[in-house]
Each structure stands twice: as C-alpha cells, then as structure tokens.
Amino acid sequence: MGRPKNIARGGAIKDASLEYWSGIAEAVKKKAVSFGLGPVEIAEPRSSTYEKYAKWVADGMHGEMGYLARDDRMERRKDLSVILPGVQSVLVCGLLYWPGRSAFLEKATSMQGDVSCYAWGTDYHTILGDRLRDLALWMHEEAGGTGKWYVDTGAILERSLAEQSGLGFIGKNTMLINPRYGSGMFLGEILTTLPLPASPPKKMPGCGKCTKCQVACPTDAFDDEYVLDARKCISYLTIELKGEIPVDLRPKMGRKVYGCDICQEVCPWNKFDWDGDMKGTSPLFGKVAKDVRTPDLERLIRMTESEFKEWFAGTAAIRIGRDRLRRNAAVALGNSRDPQAIPVLKDAINDNSELVRSHSRWALDHLLSQLRTTTS
C-alpha cells in the first residue's frame, strides 16, 4: 500500500534541546523558500477563535457550506490532535497571488465577465499542495516524526493559526493581512509531531478606523466589523452556492462570474505593485490567460461541456462545473446594460439546464427594464 497523499512519516523524534529544535525550525523556513513558498511561520496547535467560529456557524452564516458545520469537522477544528495524534506544532505557509495594483486598471467591457484574480492561473490547490508535500517529506525525513499537510481540505481554522503565528492580522474583511504582502496570499498548513518552537510574537498593525471594505461591498456581506455573512458574499454566491442565487442579490453582483476581489482591491494594504524580485514568488504572474480573467459572456453561456473543460482546465474554476458558471454568466449579462445581450439571453431561456433557464429569464427581464429606464 502506498503512502497516503497528505501524510509524511520519518523515524523517531530526537530528544533534543530547545536550541536544536530552533535550528530545525530555521532550516525548515529556509527550505520552504527553496521550494517556492512565501512567508512561513510556526504556531502552537490550538486555535484561539474556535468559540467565535462556532457562533458564526450557529448563526447560519456559512450558508449551504454544510461541511463547515459537520460535527466531526467541528471537533477537529477545536482539537487538532483529532487530525494528527501527538501534534506539537503547525507550520503556516503562504503563497502569494495578488497581482498588484496595476493589474486591475484594465476593466472588462460590458460583454465580458470578471473572474477573481486567485483563479487566473493554475489551481492553487495543486501548486501549494505539491510544495507543502515536498517540504513535509523533507522535514520529516531529516528530523523524524509524522506530519499532515492541507490546502483548504482540512478542518483547520487556518487564518486563526496564521494570525497566532505572526504571519499577519485579521482585517475587517476577515482576510489575513500581512503588513508587507497584503491579503493576496494562499494559506497552507503542515501539522507535525515535531516540537518546533512557535514563532516569537510580532507587534501587528490593524485596520484602525478604515471601513473601505465594508463600504465597497455591493451586497453588504459585512454585517459587522470582522464578520462576513457568506450568504451575501459574491464569492459564495458564484462559487459555493449550488442552486438559485437570491433574486435581491443578483443586481448587486455586476458582471462577477467567479469570485470577487472588491474588498481586497479597496484595501489600503493592497495598494501597491510588486517589484521585479517579488514577481517570481507567485505562480500566477506572467501566466494569466485573458479569456479566463475576463471571459466573453456570450461564449461563456453558450459553451458546451467539452468547451468548458478545455477552457478552464487546470484552473480553480473547473470545480464548480459548467452550469453554475453559465448561471453566473446569465446574471452578468442581465447586469450588462448592453443590448447585445438580449438575443443571447433569449436563446438561453430555452437552455437544457433549468438553472440556466431560470437565471436567464430573470436576466432578460432585468436587462430590458434597465434599458427602458436608460432611454426614458
């Protein structure tokens, strides 16, 4: 039987001094850089925000993401030793993806959709997962012990652990914000039985009185500071929600077809452009396909299953399937205010998919209403 894909095993753990394990921790961080990871910090294996998370779930703010509320997963989030017996430390690893301020200067046309920048390139689960695997295997072969690594797939309160490790602070938009790199950073974790000392505490800034993310959110998804109601979030509506998008939220979604960057675009911590050296740290820089970043909405809503698979192969968008993406395209066409969308939507109301048909009917009515208002 082969080794499970996210488990790394070495020999017995050496009974050594704090100085020895501090040296191992520094060696691991240096190795992480050589494997193409961004900043790496170490946290103790316990979350300080579990009770807050449990209340968020109890309030139903997770929407249809039932996996976030499952009893077995709640138990794991509360106690990481359920995932990895004997866990002593957690490596929290970042991978930068924010493309910089100038990447958002070119706006999509009325007949183009808008895809969140994290999905412009190769699926981060693959890239970050491979690098975490390499680091975990090296680390445990060198120092012994056992580890598990995760990229979004484990029941881990990763932003809480990242904040505890000193990788950043939690902003009012609920994103982890690194004072140097901003919030455009994927997070991955390696749970390990190695007694690596936690990174020393760092004094972090914060959001202060800034409320730009709350003000800019079109759907008012931030009911309170530091609290996101996923049921109103455009990323949730376009990605996680499998069925009908609430009618009252559709006009507020603009031409977003996969995810949303608004709360990050307006964040002062992201108002920068990378220098030449930093561009090499992200797997997305220089690999952006324009037809993925700003897809043609007519082509999107008419695409066949084979065209969908070819178009979005290897990207994060592939996981939501063709019809959800076409559903999103229908809403975007309805918000386009472009007469060119009328014949496209008239065709789509006869689509084989009820999900596409229902959203196209709404979109056509909404579009015609907007155009009548404009010309009256």
Which residues form the catalytic set? 152
Determine the residue type at 177: I
How many alpha carbons fall within 13 Å on the CB side of residue 330? 30
Is residue 353 within 8 A of residue 326, CB to CB? The reply is: yes
**φ and ψ of 39, to 5 deg:** -65, 140
Among 146, 170, 110, 121, smallest CA distance to 340 is for 110
Q: Which two tokens stand for residue 375?
A: 């010309």
178 φ/ψ angles, rounded to the nearest 5 degrees:
-90, 130
Q: Pseudo-torsion of CA 335, 309, 122, 171, nearest 10°? A: 40
The encoded tokens of residue 363 equal 């979109």
Residue 187: its H or E element:
strand 185-192
